[in-house]
Amino acid sequence: MPRFNERTLSAVADRSRRPAPAPSAPPAAPIPEAAARPRATLALTSAATAVALMTYTAPMVTLPDTAAALHTPLSAQAWLLNGTPLGLAALLLVAGSLADDYGRRRIFLAGTLALGVTTAAGALATSTWVFTLARIAQGAASAALLASSLGLLVHAFPTARGRLHATGVWGAFVSGGIAVGPLIAGALPSFRVAYGVLGVAALVLAALGPRVLTESRAPRGGRPDLAGAVTFGLALVALVAALTLGRDGWLRAAVAWPAAATVVLLGAFVLVERRTAKPMIDLALFRSPRFLASSAGGLFTGLAVIGLFSFLPTLLQQSLGMSAMNTAWLFLLWSGLSFAVALQAKRLAGRVPPRHQLVIGFVLHTVAVVTMLGALGSGSWERLLPGLLLGGVGSGLLNAALPLLAVESVPAARAAMGSGAQQTFRYVGSCAGVALTIALVTSSGGSLAHGANVAMVVSAGLAGTGALLSGMASR
């Protein structure tokens, strides 16, 4: 982050700590925006982020039961997982812009409240499309929550050292939410009960927010970039549709049309961003090596890591006959270790830059996936253990480095945009990765174990590409 911004924020923080005026002086002015409550802000934003990620990962271990309850065919199961990342990816950039312009606390509270309502609505769904729409709405609410939370943290922790600590804790709670979500879903009687519990948790956090958070903003004026949001969202829907339909054959008109629509809509999105006075994302940011590293890291984390591990629990249940709860405990080896590593990765600051942590994280995932090849075909879950452990370390490094790199890659006034951009690429990759993984597993022409091997090889290749691009962008 430029030195000018750090000195400016530090000066504001110093002024907020000066003694109050003498009694004879005029009444004191309202508490300035810099006088945030750092610890309380960190606790609340991290807790809400964890709940958002729990709703994101809850269906991972309950997908077979959810699909059976909603009568979802195999060809449409990708939508059950992709609803939330679809909403996230489509609206994160708009949410980041709205947070900067109209108040980060306001957008955070609105998103947390909406997450509670939409998650409860998902518990009442009776069909695939109603459930998918509820999941998309959860993603939209999570977008408001996630994009504004890092902006709130940058405001509450104006120094580089404080920001390092805060983003490290926040990144660890991302991993923690991913770890706990499947455990809650597996332990409760049904996915409906799990969604009800998570919905109540989000509503409780929304009620606590007004007492804890201090408002901050960095207004630019103008109107939100709704045209950009629409074109980008439609492009993402077309991409997921193309990858989902690919399971029945890639060289078909049914796949070519949505693929072509994706390209056209992305082109339209770029034109909209060039011409609007207040774009979702400033395209000039792509000239920054740090921003490129952050974007590539987010995209390939979604494609390679989240895409594979989102569907792996379902594969364990279908190929090894494991229960949802046992699958959740096994999955905890990966996600729990990811949480622990992300929480401790802040100790690497000053010795290993965030961009280099990305490279190491991708390399570890590549090695982990290679060690898991053939595990499902052997019928032994023990064969997965080394890969889950290595992959957990790699995922933890990725989750710790990405949020810090996101806020460092843009000026302080655009912190929410930087956060939203990195997470947008992450969930774009997640949508595409989940759809691609399911398509590869179910269209390989052999058993699920053979299809899983194909998906793992592709995941390893994507992670290697992510390591290469992150390394090149960091030079």
Instruction: Give a yes or no: residue 426 inside a domain.
Output: yes
320 plus 272 within the same structural domain = no
337 plus 465 within the same structural domain = yes
DSSP codes of every residue in 453-475: HHHHHHHHHHHHHHHHHHHHHT-
Q: Which two tokens stand for residue 407?
A: 């806020």
Structural domains in the chain (count): 3
Model confidence, pTM = 0.73
Using pLDDT thresholds of 50, 70 and 90, give the confidence band for residue 412: low
pLDDT for the residue 86:
83
265 plus 373 within the same structural domain = no
Residues 185, 449, 337: CA angle, nearest 5 degrees: 45
Q: List CB contacts of 238: < 8 A, sequence separation 6 or more.
A: 258, 259, 261, 262, 265
357 three-class SS: helix
190 plus 295 within the same structural domain = no
256 plus 328 within the same structural domain = no
pLDDT-wise least confident of 10-24, 168-182, 228-242: 10-24
289 plus 394 within the same structural domain = yes
263 plus 288 within the same structural domain = no
255 plus 382 within the same structural domain = no
Instruction: Give a yes or no: residue 183 inside a domain.
Output: yes
Q: What is the pLDDT of residues 38-49, one digit of tens each?
A: 888 999 999 999
pLDDT for the residue 264:
95
Spell out a b/e string for 133-142, using b for 16 or more CB atoms within 10 Å of the CB, else e.
bbbbbbbbbb
Distances (CA, A) of 190 to 68, 120, 196, 232: 12, 13, 10, 34
Distances (CA, A) of 108 to 44, 51, 142, 268, 404: 11, 13, 9, 29, 19
For the cut 80, the answer to whether the pLDDT of residue 408 exceeds it is no
Using pLDDT thresholds of 50, 70 and 90, give the confidence band for residue 350: low
Using pLDDT thresholds of 50, 70 and 90, give the confidence band for residue 294: confident
Instruction: Give a yes or no: residue 11 inside a domain.
Output: no
Q: Which of 164, 191, 215 is the last residue of a domain?
A: 215
Mean of the per-residue pLDDT values of the chain: 81
Instruction: Give a yes or no: residue 200 inside a domain.
Output: yes
In angstroms, the CA 84 to CA 79 distance is 9
pLDDT-wise least confident of 102-116, 195-209, 425-439: 425-439
Q: What is the pLDDT of residues 106-164, one digit of tens each?
A: 999 999 999 999 999 988 988 998 999 999 999 899 989 987 887 888 888 888 788 77
pLDDT for the residue 369:
94
For the cut 70, the answer to whether the pLDDT of residue 349 exceeds it is no
Measure the CA dihedral 166/291/428/384, to 10°: -60
Residue 76's CATH number: 1.20.1250.20
Q: Which of 277, 301, 316 is the last residue of a domain?
A: 277
50 plus 143 within the same structural domain = yes
Which of 1-5, 15-19, 121-125 is the most confident on average? 121-125
Domain range for 125 is 35-215
Which residue is listed with tokens 């179910």?
A: 442
Instruction: Give a yes or no: residue 28 inside a domain.
Output: no
Contact in structure between 116 and 208 (CB atoms under 8 Å): no
Distances (CA, A) of 433 to 9, 105, 278: 39, 32, 30
DSSP codes of every residue in 86-131: HHHHHHHHHHHHHHHHH-HHHHHHHHHHHHHHHHHHHHT--SHHHH
Helix or strand run (H / E) with residue 64:
helix 59-70
pLDDT for the residue 456:
94
Which residue is listed with tokens 């895409």?
A: 307
Instruction: Give a yes or no: residue 113 inside a domain.
Output: yes
In the chain, the percentage of residues whose pLDDT exceeds 90 is: 23
Instruction: Give a yes or no: residue 157 inside a domain.
Output: yes
Instruction: Give a yes or no: residue 10 inside a domain.
Output: no
> Would you say the C-alpha torsion 51, 52, 57, 62 has a positive or negative sign?
positive
211 plus 247 within the same structural domain = no
148 plus 238 within the same structural domain = no
99 plus 180 within the same structural domain = yes
Using pLDDT thresholds of 50, 70 and 90, give the confidence band for residue 208: very high
Contact in structure between 376 and 319 (CB atoms under 8 Å): yes
Q: Which of 192, 215, 238 is the last residue of a domain?
A: 215
Segment 451-456 long-range contacts (CB within 8 Å, at least 24 positions apart): 452/312, 452/315, 452/319, 452/376, 453/373, 453/374, 453/376, 453/377, 455/308, 455/311, 456/308, 456/369, 456/370, 456/372, 456/373
